[in-house]
Every structure is written in structure tokens, then in C-alpha cells.
Homo-oligomer: A and B are copies of this chain.
Amino acid sequence: MIIILKKDPEQKQLDNLKAWLTGQKLTIHESRGDSHTILGLVGDTSTVDIDLLRALDIVEDVKRVQEPYKNANRKFHEADTVIPVGSTQIGGDVFTLIAGPCSIESEEQICLVAAAVKRAGATMLRGGAFKPRTSPYAFQGLRGHGLELLMEAKKLTGLPVVTEIMDLSQLDLFTEVDVIQVGARNMQNFELLKELGRTGKPVLIKRGLANTLQELLMSAEYVMAGGNGNVVLCERGIRTFETAARNTLDLSAVPLLKKMSHLPVIVDPSHATGIAALVKPMALAAAASGVDGLMIEVHNDPTHALSDGAQSLTPEAFSDVSAAVMAMLPYACRYHGGKVV
């Protein structure tokens, strides 16, 4: 951490600051220039409050050198994290293909889709029971009953399941869920993250619409600090000024997250674009960039979906996307030294 002081800092305040810093077991290197004095801090600065330092009269700016995340940091854990999920895994040599409907609507629907996506190459099943909807008047999901139907589809196909939790009061219902998804709107629901850190279950955290990659890693850090290292990161589009697609898929997040962290990274092209016709090109692009897997919405009849229908593919279209991705995968970044370190 580097503290840039204002010109000619008041000596007493400077002494106080230095005393406070050394009290936190930090060593101070001081460089005096014509227009600024700089204090370089050496030691563990992860608990130092950067905002508090900025509030001081004599301080002009503070810049962080060390990343504020530890458990999620590739610097301290060089090897890729691989998370076993049922008979498959996320990360490592396996390319994860998660598919299923946005909302679970009926036993028939989820079982039909589950069987279809399995045939098409999916390694995991997704399906929403608790649905975060912008409007209180929109369909809110089948909730507990939806989870039961999802378990039926899991039994039927053997596919491990991913589904979203919206509140920690629902946690008891997630016992048989294989991967618990934290949605983009809950990425900084810290009480929820803390509680998920106390379970051993894999947690897939979606990046919030306006959250930086560092903030995404800090949310992963909440889960990991609780003792649960099974965290999957998911890029699903950020909010920008562009309105031609629902969100802006930020694919440079993939190599950047791979550089910053050892955690597996998944891309959701369905939510990122909100346009069915964009799923294939963006799935291919994500695969090429070196991602560990994809999460794609598939629906037996997109035109009758009860939620988010605009972004769902039919099983046939998904099968086409899946085949295209699989054919391209040997040429993707991750398979020929495209490591970003």
C-alpha cells in the first residue's frame, strides 16, 4: 500500500499517522519529492481501511499494491482449483456444459428438457425454482415445489443440478442440490455468502451487473474465508450504455479472472445477451477465450416459457451449439498455451 501525502504535511499529524501504521505491524518506507511525499507500506495491508486513510487531512491519495483477496488469489495458490460435482467436475480437464430452463414449470417440462440436454452433451442441469424477478407481478417460480421437480429430473438423468438460492432461509431446501447458485443481484448479499461459506457445497457466484472483477473475487473470498473453497465464478454480462443486447458480455473477464485467481470460470451467454440468436456466437467466443464451461438456457418450447423466454434455445438449437463448441474446443486458448499469467 502506498500513501501519497499532500505537500508539506503537518509534522504532528505525520508522526501520528506513522505511529498508527507501525502499530499495525507495517514497515514504512518514505520517499520525499518536490511536490509529494510518499509512504510505502510493507507488511500485511489487507485489513487496513483505505477509506479511513484517505480521510486524513495530510493524505492526498492511497493506492493499493497488494490484492485484497487471499484465498481466491492465484499468487498464493498457483494450481487451478478443480471442484468435484457428482460424477463430473468443474475446472481442470473437463469442459462443463450446464443447460436447462430458466424456470422449472412442471415435472414433464423439466424432465423432458433434462433428458434432451443430456443427449446433447450437457454435463449438468440447471433450472430455476426461486426466481428473482424485477416485477412483483411477474411469475416468482415454483419455489420449494420447483426444487422437488428438479430432484426428479436429477434422478431420471443422473445429471448434477445447479439452482439459485435467493435467501438464506431457503438453505435447508438445498440439501440435495449439487451446486448452489448466487445470482447477480445477490453477489454482494454478504450474510448469504457467509452462510454458504459454512456449508461444504460448491457455490457458483454470478458477477453483479455493475461489479468489478475484484469485487467478484471479494465475494468469493467471503465464501472461502468461511472454509468453503468450492467456488465457481460466472460472467453473465455487465450493464453498460449499450442497449442492443440486454447486457454487455465481458469476455476479457475470462483471461483476467484466470490470471487473478485459481477458481474455475463459467460464462452464461444466455443471460448476458438476452437474445437466442446470440447464444451460439457468444458460446463459441467464450469457449475460445479459455473458459471452463458454459451455462445455457434451454426450453422445450421457448414461445411458451413463463419467464425469460427471449433467451432460451430449443433442445435442437442447444444440440447444435453444443456440437459446435465441442468441435471447436481443441482449438481454444486453454489447450495451446494460452495461459495468461
Which of A's residues lie within 8 Å of B, judged by CB? 2, 4, 7, 27, 29, 31-36, 38, 40, 42-43, 46-47, 49, 51-57, 61, 63, 65-66, 68, 75, 132-140, 166-169, 185-186, 188-192, 194, 208-210, 212-215, 218, 221-222, 225-226, 238-245, 248-256, 259-260, 272-274, 276-278, 280-282, 284-290, 302-303, 305-312, 320, 324, 327-328, 331-333, 336-338, 340-341
Contact = CB atoms under 8 A, between A and B. Distances in A.
Given A212-B242, A241-B210, A274-B51, A166 B191 contact: yes
Count the copies.
Answer: 4
Contact of A285 (B36, B209, B288): B288
Contact of A188 (B185, B225, B336): B185
A298 to B, nearest CB: 13
A143 to B, nearest CB: 10
Contacts of A248: 238, 240, 248, 250, 252
29 contacts: A31-B31, A32-B42, A33-B42, A36-B65, A38-B40, A46-B135, A47-B138, A49-B138, A52-B305, A52-B307, A53-B310, A54-B310, A55-B302, A55-B310, A57-B303, A136-B194, A167-B191, A240-B248, A249-B251, A252-B281, A280-B333, A281-B288, A281-B289, A284-B288, A284-B289, A284-B331, A288-B328, A328-B328, A331-B331
Given A2-B2, A324-B333, 12 more contacts: A33-B40, A35-B75, A51-B274, A51-B308, A51-B311, A68-B135, A238-B240, A248-B250, A255-B277, A255-B281, A281-B289, A284-B290
B241 A252 contact: no
Nearest to A246: B51
A279 to B, nearest CB: 10
Contacts of A185: 188-190
Contacts of A208: 210
Shortest beta-carbon contacts, A-B, top 3: A210-B210, A29-B31, A33-B42
A150 B26 CA distance: 34
A287 to B, nearest CB: 7
Contacts of A75: 7, 35
A247 to B, nearest CB: 9
Contacts of A225: 136-137
A252 B209 CA distance: 16
Given A66-B35, A255-B282, A328 B338 contact: no
A221 B264 CA distance: 37
Contacts of A218: 134-136
Contacts of A252: 244-245, 248-249, 272-273, 278, 281-282
Contacts of A51: 274, 307-311
A309 B49 contact: yes
A163 B152 CA distance: 43
A45 to B, nearest CB: 10
Contact of A210 (B31, B56, B209): B209
A29 B30 CA distance: 8
